[in-house]
């Protein structure tokens, strides 16, 4: 199959992947843009997995206070470099996660942290397993993974706290 420069350019704009990565993904997907995007996402997740042993000590602590000041949330989102921590995409992720915590009131970050004997469904109680309030086709963990793939480095949610007036 012939891969045009326009096809590579469109895929690169969508995924932020390198030119040769886009071209190779399009070749593997026989020119199908959607399949090529999935291939690049899998490759990106594999790269992020390789970096999982690295320490992510940069990042931001983001806050969200609901209108009226009755509910608020703080969340720490980490990455490997201060360069990534300063990007708009990383800051937006942190803001969206703080909003998620305020809106959904999770008990814990992961299923491993679920309180023993809890009657709640882990998908509802664990932040990273919840459906995103911004895009219900993804979990919160998938949102984090998407940013990690685009930034090409480890991105993690370290901790959060939620406050509710009178709660």
Task: Give the CA radius of gyration of the chain.
Answer: 18
Task: Report the DSSP beta bridge partners of residue 81.
Answer: none
Q: Region 81-109: what's the mean pLDDT?
A: 95
| DSSP annotation of 108 | B
Q: Enumerate the β-bridge partners of residue 49.
A: none
Q: Residue 53 — pLDDT band, cuts 50, 70, 90?
A: low
Three-state SS letters, 136-152: CCCEHHHHHHHHHHHHC
Order the strands of the 71-79 sheet from edge to edge: 58-65, 71-79, 155-164
Residues 6+ apart with CB under 8 A from 147: 89, 90, 93, 155
Q: Which residue, among 65, 59, 67, has the nearest Cα to 91 in the 3D structure? A: 59
Q: Where are the beta strands (DSSP E) in the chain?
A: 58-65, 71-79, 155-164
Report the range of poorest mean pLDDT among 37-46, 101-110, 121-130. 37-46
- Of the chain, the end-to-end C-alpha distance in Å amounts to 61
pLDDT of 70 higher than 70:
yes
pTM of the model: 0.71
pLDDT digits (tens, 9 = 90+) for 3-44: 888 888 887 777 777 788 888 888 888 888 888 888 877 777
Residue with tokens 């998938």, as numbered in its chain: 142
Give pLDDT tens digits for 142-158.
999 999 988 888 999 99
């Amino acid at each position: 199959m012939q891969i045009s420069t326009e096809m590579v350019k469109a895929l690169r704009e969508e995924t932020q992947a390198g030119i040769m990565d886009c071209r190779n993904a399009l070749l593997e997907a026989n020119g199908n843009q959607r399949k090529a995007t999935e291939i690049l996402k899998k490759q990106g997740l594999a790269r992020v997995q390789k970096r999982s042993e690295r320490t992510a000590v940069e990042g931001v602590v983001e806050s969200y206070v609901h209108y009226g000041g009755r509910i608020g949330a703080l969340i720490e989102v980490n990455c490997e470099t201060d360069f990534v921590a300063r990007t708009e995409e990383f800051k937006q992720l942190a803001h969206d996660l703080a909003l998620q915590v305020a809106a959904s009131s999770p008990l814990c970050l992961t299923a491993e942290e679920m309180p023993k004997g809890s009657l709640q469904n882990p998908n509802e109680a664990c932040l990273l397993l919840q459906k995103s309030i911004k895009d219900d086709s993804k979990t919160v963990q998938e949102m984090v993974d998407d940013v990690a793939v685009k930034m090409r480095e480890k991105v993690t949610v370290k901790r959060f706290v939620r406050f509710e007036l009178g709660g």
